[in-house]
Amino acid sequence: MEFQRLLSKIEVALTPGRFRHTMGVVDWAERMADRYGVHRGQVRLAALLHDCAKKLPDKDLLERAGQAGIPVDTEITEQPSLLHGPVGAVIAREEYAIDDPQVLQAISRHTLGADDMTTLDKLIFLADMVEVNRRYPGVEELRVLTLEDLDRAMVAALDQTVRHLLDRRAVIHPQTVSTRNNILRGIG
Ligand SMILES: [Fe+2]
Ligand SMILES: [Fe+2]
């Protein structure tokens, strides 16, 4: 499916606000792709489809995760919306005919990250957090950092996520901590 057709299809699948966010992610991810020398085509696809499962109710997310053999742990049972990454990758493959495993992986990992993230994975994760419609304290600094140092930006982004969860006394998924620790060790 060509990009324009995917774009029309995803626009219908998302709320207007989520579509605006998605286009912001496409835009920022392309900017990052140029900066880090990543294939623009993969970046555009992953960014465009990263939230394709966002509108699914919890019940459907859990059901599709079960069908696809996606592991569901305690934290995910408590907060099924965390599944919109991995289930999004399934939907991107089945309903949007995306067959590039690197693109599907970046979609799958955009919420919790992973212990061995590729540059494409990091780029989508970060563009999702700093695209121009995002508003939270510190976003401008983080936005600048995403164009300067990918790994330092990842640690700063994960710090921000953990801090936000601590402030709300919310459960922190262990993968968020593990993702942060692995990248932190890498930059020494
Ligand atoms: Fe998302
Ligand atoms: Fe998103």
Express each pLDDT in 44-60 by its tens digit: 999 999 999 999 999 99
Residue 82 CA, ligand 1 centroid: distance in Å: 8
Which stretch of DSSP H or E encloses residue 39?
none
CA-based torsion, 22, 26, 27, 31: positive or negative: positive
Which residue type is seen at 93?
R
Average pLDDT for residues 91-96, to the nearest whole number?
98
Ligand nearest to the CA of 127: 2
pLDDT at 188: 67
Ligand 1 center–CA 184 separation, angstroms? 23
DSSP string, 81-120: GGGHHHHHHHHHHHHS----HHHHHHHHTTTT--TT--HH
Taking a 5 Å cut-off on Cβ, the residues next to ion ligand 2 are 51, 128
For 118: left if phi > 0, alpha if psi spans -120 to 50, otherwise beta; the answer is: beta
pLDDT for the residue 121: 98
User: 35-39: long-range contacts at Cβ-Cβ below 8 A with a sequence spacing of 24 or more?
Assistant: 35/147, 36/119, 36/123, 36/150, 38/119, 38/120, 38/123
pLDDT confidence of residue 94: 97
Task: Give distance in angstroms: CA of 85 to centre of ligand 1.
Answer: 6
Closest ligand, as measured to the CA of 129: 2
The single-letter code of the amino acid at 166 is L
What distance in angstroms lies between residue 113's CA and the mean position of ligand 2's atoms?
13
Predicted local distance difference test score (pLDDT) of residue 1: 75
Q: How far is the CA of 184 from the centre of ligand 2 (A)?
A: 23
**Model-level pTM greater than 0.95?**
yes
Tell me the ligand closest to 18's alpha carbon: 2
| CA 5 – ligand 1 centroid, Å | 21
pLDDT tens track for 130-173: 999 999 999 999 999 999 999 999 999 999 999 999 999 999 99
DSSP3 helix / strand / coil % (the chain, rounded to 5): 70, 0, 30
State mean pLDDT over 56-73. 98
Q: Kindly list the structural domains of the chain, giving each domain's residue range(s) and its CATH number in brackets, ordered by start.
A: 3-187 (1.10.3210.10)
* Amino acid identity at 146: T
Task: Output the CA 111–ligand 1 centroid distance in Å.
Answer: 6
| Spatial distance between the Cα atoms of 49 and 114, rounded to a whole number of angstroms | 19
Angle between helices 101-108 and 119-130 (to 10 degrees): 40
d(CA 86, CA 71): 10
Distance CA 81, CA 16 (A): 19
